[in-house]
Amino acid sequence: MSLTRFLRKHMNDPSQLSLLLDASPANVDASSTASNTSDTQIETASPQSAPLASNPKIEHPHHLSEAHRAVTPKASTRRIMLDQTALDYQLLRSKRHTIGFAVSEEGLRVTAPRWVPVSEIELAIIEKQNWIFNKMNEQRERSVRRLQPPMRWQDGATIPYLGTTITIKLDESVQAGVRFDEAAFVLYISLPASASEQQLKDRVLGWLQGEAKKLFAERLAIYAEKLQVRFQSFALSSAATQWGSCTAEGRIRLNWRLMHFALPNIDYVIAHELAHLREMNHGPEFWATVQSVFPEFAAVRKALRNHEPEKLPIF
């Protein structure tokens, strides 16, 4: 069965999807770099007047110096009780003018000005405890995923496909080499049981890239019409750090690994690249253009950024 029929069966309207979020481009962080460490700052004005910020600035660790990011020998280990939970943290004094939090595999690190008393630092920790515990849980989950064994390419293996999980089955009787049973979510590969892992990976990769070419061509046509733009060509990409790109001449490249994600993620990247044919920048007018055809872009973009590479099969 066709890819379009598969999508229609599992989605209400594949030509017009919505995650029911209408976000203003002005409220969206335009940064595209993610990290396993998360910092937040609380501004403190003076020892006499140091109010906690109601909307603290998130400071990405790739903007910090190595001296700031590392826990130096001057850091001291302290403990604070939050309800019934004991929280250990490293306290580092510095010349900075703000209180900063960082959560990493080593735990919580707090960097504070030398003149701020511990009582105010711990008030800041209490204020931010929900954020701290959420980040610590995310860090634990990442650590667990890293300990999981790598995927084995064999009969019965599973891979993510368009937001679902499909099972790979070896079946030498398949005439076309590959057959996808969309009702059972099974991908039949015509290979003997003795086939190597590399043979199986290559066969699955070829099928995924073929499906990507068909689906991307469909979605590009839909969003080009919505935006009233014309692109010159498109090709598949295997870039390690980009989901898509667009040149001023209208040449678009889309990462075939987007096929692992649900259709809204694919549509966001396509709408994003086509919008560059009207605005070759990431200014307010560009995001307004994206939003005009894809109102839920903020949530989908965040989901793509937060997706761990470890969750995807390695080809």
Cα separations (Å) of 237 from 86, 288, 290?
48, 26, 22
Look at residue 222 and tell me whether its pLDDT is greater than 50: yes
Overall domain count for the chain? 2
- Specify whether 169 is located in the same domain as 249: yes
What is the tens place of the pLDDT at every residue in 81-133?
Answer: 998 889 999 999 998 889 999 998 889 999 999 999 999 999 999 999 999 99
Handedness of CA 101, 105, 107, 111 (dihedral sign): negative
Domain ranges, residue 246: 3-28+151-311
What is the tens place of the pLDDT at every residue in 67-78?
Answer: 444 444 468 999
Q: Average pLDDT, stretch 259-278? A: 96
Per the CB < 8 A criterion, the answer to whether 141 and 155 are in contact is no
Q: Give SS3 for 94.
A: strand
Residue ending a domain, among 130, 147, 164, is 147
- Specify whether 170 is located in the same domain as 240: yes
Closest CA to 220 of 153, 140, 275: 275
Look at residue 208 and tell me whether its pLDDT is greater than 90: yes
- Specify whether 261 is located in the same domain as 287: yes
- Specify whether 173 is located in the same domain as 295: yes
- Specify whether 100 is located in the same domain as 83: yes
What is the tens place of the pLDDT at every residue in 13-27?
Answer: 433 322 222 223 333
Q: What is the pLDDT of residue 201?
A: 95
- Specify whether 159 is located in the same domain as 11: yes
Q: What is the pLDDT of residue 4?
A: 58
Residue-by-residue DSSP string for 141-171: HHHHHHHSPPP--STT-EEEETTEEEEEEE-
Residue ending a domain, among 147, 166, 182, is 147
Residue ending a domain, among 129, 147, 165, is 147
CATH number at residue 217: 3.30.2010.10
- Specify whether 176 is located in the same domain as 305: yes
Handedness of CA 246, 252, 256, 258 (dihedral sign): positive
Q: Give SS3 for 200.
A: helix
- Specify whether 24 is located in the same domain as 118: no
What is the tens place of the pLDDT at every residue in 35-82?
Answer: 334 444 434 333 333 333 333 333 333 333 334 444 444 689 999 999
- Specify whether 169 is located in the same domain as 268: yes
Per the CB < 8 A criterion, the answer to whether 223 and 271 are in contact is yes
- Specify whether 141 is located in the same domain as 77: yes
- Specify whether 155 is located in the same domain as 140: no
